[in-house]
Structure 1
Amino acid sequence: MIKKIKEFLKEVKIEIKKVVFPSKDELIGSIWVVIITVVIISLFLGFVDLGLSKLVAMALR
C-alpha cells in the first residue's frame, strides 16, 4: 500500500513539471474575460427573471 502511494506521488511530481502556468498578462486577461462574462450572464438572467415574475403576476391576477 505504501509503495503504491509513493509511486503515485512520484508520478504526480512528474506531471506537475509538465504543467505550463500562464503569465501574469495572460492571467489578468483571462480574469477580465471571466468577470465580463459573469456580469453579462447575470444581467441576462436578472432580466429573464424579472420578465417571468411579471408574467406570473399578470397570470395570477
Structure 2
Amino acid sequence: MLMSNTNRPAKLHYMANGFRVLSSGDHVVCAASGAAIALDDLRYWDVAGQRPFATAELASEAMRPR
C-alpha cells in the first residue's frame, strides 16, 4: 500500500540556507501561529531553535530578545 504525504506534517532540519527533510510530509506547523505552511511556501525559520514561521513578522517577533 502506498502512503500519501497529503495532510501530513513533515519533519525538517533547518539550516542557514535551507532545510533537509527528515520525514516526508506536505507541510510544517508555524511555531507562533499554529498555521500549516506548505513546504513550497516555507521561507522563515529559526536555525538555533529549529522552528518554522509562517511570516517574517512572526519570526521576528518570536526571535526578538526579551
| Pairwise same-fold verdict (TM > 0.5) | no
Higher relative contact order (CA 8 A, sep 6+): 2
Which has the larger share of helix?
1
TM-score by length of 2: 0.23
Question: Which structure is higher in strand share?
Answer: 2
TM-score (norm 1): 0.24
